[in-house]
Amino acid sequence: MVLNGDVLDPEILDEANISQTETFVAVSNDDEVNILSSLLAKRSGCGRTVTLINTLTYAPLITQLGIDAVVNPRAITVSSILQHVRRGRIRSVYSVREDFGEVIEAEALETSPLVGRPLKDARLPSGVIIGAIVRDGEVIVPRGETVIAAKDRVVLFATYEAVKKVEKMFAVRLDFF
């Protein structure tokens, strides 16, 4: 179904049956229209809203307003570039603010210093926190006694100062081949 009209018009939202809609996605070229239409959809009973914003100054306000998710093309582009620039078996990277750090998903190889020892003995660099381990489709919440196995996916946060050290932990070494 295609509706032609102003998304800020409550009648259009009613015609779209927004109160019964699971997710509303606002992706116009106008940040203010995206924000306001998401707020109207939420107020009309929509379960979840996703909003495109290009102006980073709006980002801190969005969650306070009740919008569920924000899409920022600049952040997506930066994260995509970082994924290709980072060394090692890095599967995905998400930059957390320009000056803060990165959330990194990496594959642990047999040659990684993390593999085969309890995390409490792993000597993680300062500024690195392991948040989750994914093994055979199961998410493991890491503890001090948790042992990372080869081929595990490790999701971690690293400050910018620690990123190079994280790359080395997940880099492919010659003895791997």
**Domains detected in the chain:** 10-71 (3.40.50.720), 75-176 (3.30.70.1450)
Put simply, whether the predicted model's pTM sits higher than 0.85 gets the answer no
Per-residue pLDDT, 86: 43
Per-residue pLDDT, 51: 85
Calpha distance 12→135 (Å, rounded): 46
3-state secondary structure of 75: helix
Calpha distance 149→140 (Å, rounded): 12
Per-residue pLDDT, 91: 63
Mean pLDDT by 10 residues, the chain (177 residues): 76 85 86 90 88 78 79 61 49 65 83 88 89 91 92 88 80 48
* Pair of tokens at residue 93: 């990277």
Burial 93-120 (b: 16+ CB within 10 A, else e): bbbeeeeebbbbbbbbbebbebbeeebe
Question: Burial, 22: exposed, middle or buried (Cβ in 10 Å; 0-12, 13-18, 19+)?
Answer: exposed
Q: Are 156 and 130 in contact (CB under 8 A)?
A: yes
